[in-house]
Amino acid sequence: MSALVRSSVRLSQGCLALFSAICIALHPGFVLKWNEGGFSNYGIHIKTVIPYSIAFFGCAVFAARAGRALVRMEPRARHFAVILVVYAALMFFTLISTYGYTLNHPLKDVHTVVGIVTMLFEPLAALWMYARLRRTPWTHTLIALELAGLTLAVIDYLVILHVLFLAQVLTAFAFGALLVHAAGRLDEVRAHAAYVFSE
């Protein structure tokens, strides 16, 4: 069962990375410019909507599968399972809210709220994983990238610089890499969880 968790998390992040890269390759001008937009631009254009949809839907499906499998396998690691399931839900709602966000202000507000929640959830979940995993140069680098991405997101939100895409890339990469890292070290997550539940 632990192999299922590891493979599902890897498939989740692989799907997100591969099909996101396809989106960028098909139309780099949506995000790779000085006044850059967010990644959601790929979800509202016919040329990129299919790979965009596969990226987020596949990510959500595999992350949810990993979370469900982890709960069945090891209840003591349920906090990590909750992270996976919440992450899956956020990826799904990001996808669904993308399609109509340019139609009117209420739909745009919904999409914006989902984006803000995701941008807050990922660094917090990343810090939770970082606190429970063995310290290595790799985990130090990933948490630094995650926090850098959050900082850039705040800078973009305050309209100081338009760096939303860069913020999204940094946080998504760092969070995804920490997910994969943690899924491969469930013994560390379980050990901490067992300590917490015994208190």
Model pLDDT for residues 68-118, shown as the tens digit of each residue: 988 887 767 788 999 999 999 999 999 999 998 888 889 999 999 999 999
Higher pLDDT pick, 16 / 40: 16
Q: What pTM does this model have?
A: 0.89
Within-domain flag for 199: no
Q: Does the pLDDT value for residue 195 go beyond 70?
A: no
Q: Look at residue 37 and tell me if it is in a domain.
A: yes
Tokens coding 128: 């939770």
Q: Does residue 198 lie within any of the structural domains?
A: no
- Give the pLDDT of residue 122: 95
Predicted pLDDT of residue 157: 83
Of residues 89 and 195, which shows the higher confidence score? 89
Residues 156-160: contacts with CB within 8 Å, 24+ apart? 157/116
In a domain, 129, yes or no: yes
The answer to the question of residue 117 being in a domain is yes
- CA gyration radius, the chain: 17
Whether 174 is covered by a domain: the verdict is yes
pLDDT in tens, 14-29: 999 999 999 999 988 7
**Are residues 178 and 145 in contact, defined by beta-carbon separation less than 8 angstroms?**
no
User: Does residue 128 lie in a domain region?
Assistant: yes
Q: How many domains does the chain have?
A: 1
Q: Which of 16-30, 31-45, 128-142, 176-190 has the lowest mean pLDDT?
A: 31-45
pLDDT band, very low/low/confident/very high, at 192 (cuts 50, 70, 90): low
For 35, the domain range is 2-193
